[in-house]
Structure 1
């Protein structure tokens, strides 16, 4: 069992090392210019030299993404619970939720900056919340409808109240779907907050740092900031995965 677990970790790491080695080999062998794509060694050098700057920019983006993730998750879950309880609400809100899912960030960012001011992070946080809302809403709504009729009939036979049925049957069935939506939303929160930074607002954040590095033709530094964005997204995803693991493990024990 331990060998199998080690292989699931070692295999992706080995593949990543091979991919990076091939990347560096191609850049060196074909003399690819940095404005096309820099080599991993140049990116790593810039990442090491500008660690503090990258950390500061990553923290700014992560803060906006976290606020959007929490707000979007709470609102999406509450709306899904209302839609599951009263089907007319689901029918009324379905077109609105679908429209939110396809609204481009590039259209929302300038509007929110005009509404809340270019010096505030509110627009970035709202964009992240909107991106989070849709996957959480649909996954939670589907999960709340997974309880089998036979289980509900059994709870009625025991004269259980609606609250007891929800707590004992409906919510446990919806929990895996909630965490699926949360994992998807965690990555979307980082991506949307990062993209929103390209279109104005405060100068902090990875998106602004990338555009500044590109405008000064420091392409390895721009890719170093991209690496910071990747690491930020991985932290969010791993945190939600760990939360799911802890909660589900406690459920199995109880």
Structure 2
């Protein structure tokens, strides 16, 4: 409760301050709608927001899973070979430098306008780097004491990986997954700005803004925020289930 209460209080105070600034400052709705107006639109458009969030969430989830699996495989292979490490790390850095704004329209033109593949590809590319880099770091940072102990027991390579290397790399893996979970939603939503199916949050935001329905656009933005928060919390839950001993140590 002590961890949850402070951010909730800060969030409520921020919304109250936002409402007061817009109301008392008489800021035009097309510049910044009031939270109360956004809430009314969110309630009115709840079905549309839910459907759009489901479409964007599906693309984000598929991209997150595929990109993470590729990153895990690449990190496992790279950790076993110095040559692969010298090649793959710069290559992953190049992938990370690819801008979504430039990549999304190119991929949209490569597939049919009714295909969700471009958005999922963009998401997979975006999430690859944080998962790959964090897991690779965890696989390489082996405690020397543990390494010497396994050598003393003449442990095989598989036993060493199963008992020491992989469990030690799990915290790094979930650090990358936490970063990737939020990036997946951002990438999926931004990729929808550049054509293709008009069923996601990004497409609904641009459509509402084009018709100057700014409170409605902000309602879909709020839906994207809630979707990103859901992904992040799901990753935290998965981390607790996968590493219960770490939570006990923290406690």
TM bucket, shorter chain: over 0.9
Aligned residue in 1 for 2:178? 183
The question of 1:43 aligning with 2:38 is answered: yes
Q: Contact conserved, 2:204 with 2:217, CA < 8 A, in 1?
A: yes
Q: Alignment partner for residue 122 of structure 1, among 95, 117, 125?
A: 117
Q: Alignment partner for residue 25 of structure 1, among 17, 20, 29?
A: 20
Tell me the distance in 2 between the aligned counterparts of 1:138 and 1:165.
Answer: 21
Shift, 1:8, TM fit: 2.1
Q: Alignment partner for residue 208 of structure 1, among 196, 203, 208?
A: 203
Tell me the distance in 1 between the aligned counterparts of 2:102 and 2:246.
Answer: 42
Tell me the distance in 1 between the aligned counterparts of 2:164 and 2:73.
Answer: 18
Shift, 1:148, TM fit: 2.0
The question of 1:34 aligning with 2:26 is answered: no
Q: Contact conserved, 2:240 with 2:247, CA < 8 A, in 1?
A: no
What is the correspondence of 1:17-166 to structure 2 with a 5 Å cutoff? 17-166=12-161
Query: What are the Cα deviations for residues 111-163 of structure 1, in whole angstroms up to 9, with x where unaligned?
Result: 21122222100000000000100000000000001212332222122121100
Tell me the distance in 1 between the aligned counterparts of 2:8 and 2:186.
Answer: 24
Task: Report runs of 4+ in structure 1 exceeding 2 Å deviation.
Answer: 250-253
| TM-score normalised according to structure 2 size | 0.96
* Gapped regions of structure 1 (runs ≥ 5): 1-5
Q: Alignment partner for residue 214 of structure 2, among 210, 215, 219?
A: 219
Shift, 1:18, TM fit: 1.1
Tell me the distance in 2 between the aligned counterparts of 1:94 and 1:172.
Answer: 22
Query: What are the Cα deviations for residues 26-58 of structure 1, in whole angstroms up to 9, with x where unaligned?
Result: 111011001100000000000000100000000
Aligned residue in 1 for 2:229? 234
Q: Alignment partner for residue 169 of structure 2, among 170, 174, 186?
A: 174
Tell me the distance in 2 between the aligned counterparts of 1:224 and 1:252.
Answer: 36
Tell me the distance in 1 between the aligned counterparts of 2:247 and 2:95.
Answer: 36
Tell me the distance in 2 between the aligned counterparts of 1:146 and 1:202.
Answer: 44
Tell me the distance in 2 between the aligned counterparts of 1:208 and 1:198.
Answer: 6
Q: Contact conserved, 2:18 with 2:35, CA < 8 A, in 1?
A: yes
Tell me the distance in 2 between the aligned counterparts of 1:252 and 1:41.
Answer: 39
Change (3 A) 1:250 1:149: closer
RMSD: 1.2
